[in-house]
Amino acid sequence: MDIKKLYLLTLGFIPNFSFATSDKYLVDEIVANVGTESIFLSDLNTILLQLKYQNENISEKQVIDQLLHNASLISKGKENSFIAEKKIIKDMVNERMKSILSKFYNNPKLIEQYLGKRPWALKKELEKNLKEQYLVEKVQNQFLEDFRCTHKDIVTFYEKLKNENKIPTVEESFEAYELVLFPEEDPQILNTMLEIRKKIDEGENFIDLVKEYSQDEESVENDGELGWFKIGELKDEYEGAALSLKPGEISKIVKTDVGYHIIQLIEVRNGEFNSRHIFRFSAKKDDYESLVDKANEIKNQILSRKMSWNEAIKKFSHDDSVKSSLGRIKDDISNDVKNLHQGEISEPISCFVDDKKAVKIIYLRKIIPAHPLNLDDDYEKISSMTKNYLRQRIVQKKIIDVVDKTDIKVDPNFVKVS
């Protein structure tokens, strides 16, 4: 087998399989022996099935090649006496299982329904996968132990791009900052929800209360009904409360970051659920108007030099996550700043931050025009590109060396490699 003709793929492109067909063990067959490792027909079939579910455009040959590469690296790891430490793997498995369970609200039946596996079988599979991942990463890290990227490497890589006419164009970008204001919560809203819950306890009709009190205008038209949703599509707090109910039961008051809900579960079917709710925003509706006024006042103070942008961020911004960066925006904001000139501050903009309604102003500090990538303006970007390129070349070359030295026997009835 000429291993150099195999596709050279980045390790780890194959995701963990989560659509198992059954916990029952069928007769399996070994389709390849790679050093100390065996590749089973089920390994190939489960990955192909997952890729089909995910609509990934990856051929069977690419999958086979990747399995051979990974098995070779695992074998190499064992040859080098790399050991997947039991405590590390145990902690990784427990952490992953904890995360999976939390997504399914600690309900093992939901895990089995959605993933087609019982939790014990899922845990066993995770342990196997994480051990192998650990060994592969150990070998890869060994490949890159002596990796260095010098200024000369960066210049050489840039010259290579230039000589091959592959210098990319950097699109127009902006250095901009935002100051975000959230409405203050109104304590009276909770009192209103408590009154509604009391009326429910006293026997008043849920749908009548939806029409009288709910501020979710879209669902009110449908008696508060949200329609069918899968797990992960609604707020965790909402889903957790809804799925803890039996059909027809009504929850206590549930708080999310947008407001308060009282939920009635309608039906659970084929891994989906339908519910209705009474919803109230946690802030006064007219609070948004006062936020616009406050944003304008802050803007005017900055423009009149009564305070700097940095001082305004530290004093007024309600978004603590941006204070350390003074509100630096990393996302695409071209629509928000298209009418601004360099150095200007926007009018107040109504927005949502983590699904929570807010008002913001944007300071456009600098406009960086579209330009060909160059060492003066884009050194950090070229440096990152160089490091990725060099690491990839080292890993690819080392993989070829490892696979060339690994004893590989493939069953031609199942696996065809050139």
Are 142 and 393 within 8 A, CB to CB? no
Nearest to 157 by CA among 372, 381, 7: 381
Residue 178 lies in a domain: yes
Residue 138 lies in a domain: yes
62 and 124 within one domain: yes
What 3-state DSSP class applies to 118? coil
51 and 83 within one domain: yes
52 and 11 within one domain: yes
Residue 415 lies in a domain: no
356 and 310 within one domain: yes
352 and 223 within one domain: no
Task: Per-residue pLDDT tens, the chain, 418 aa: give them.
Answer: 333 322 222 233 333 333 333 343 444 688 888 888 888 887 777 777 767 666 667 777 788 888 888 888 888 888 888 777 788 888 888 888 888 887 777 778 777 777 777 888 888 888 888 888 888 888 989 999 999 999 999 999 999 999 999 999 998 888 899 998 887 777 788 899 999 999 999 999 999 999 999 999 889 999 999 999 988 788 888 998 998 899 999 999 999 877 899 999 999 887 789 999 999 988 766 567 788 999 999 999 999 999 999 899 888 876 666 656 777 887 777 777 888 899 999 999 888 777 677 889 999 999 889 999 999 989 999 999 999 999 999 999 998 899 889 988 887 776 554 3
90 and 74 within one domain: yes
CATH number for the domain that contains residue 68: 1.10.4030
CATH number for the domain that contains residue 305: 3.10.50.40
DSSP H/E element including 124: helix 119-143
Distance CA 263, CA 261 (A): 6
224 and 166 within one domain: no
Across the strands, what pairs with 201?
none
Residue 417 lies in a domain: no
136 and 63 within one domain: yes
pTM to 2 decimals? 0.58
Q: How many domains does the chain have?
A: 4
Domain of 363 in residue numbering reads as: 173-183+286-371
Q: Is the dihedral of CA 388, 406, 89, 128 positive or negative?
A: positive
Distance CA 214, CA 218 (A): 10
Residue 416 lies in a domain: no
Q: From the CB of residue 210, how many other CB atoms can be counted at a distance below 10 Å?
A: 23
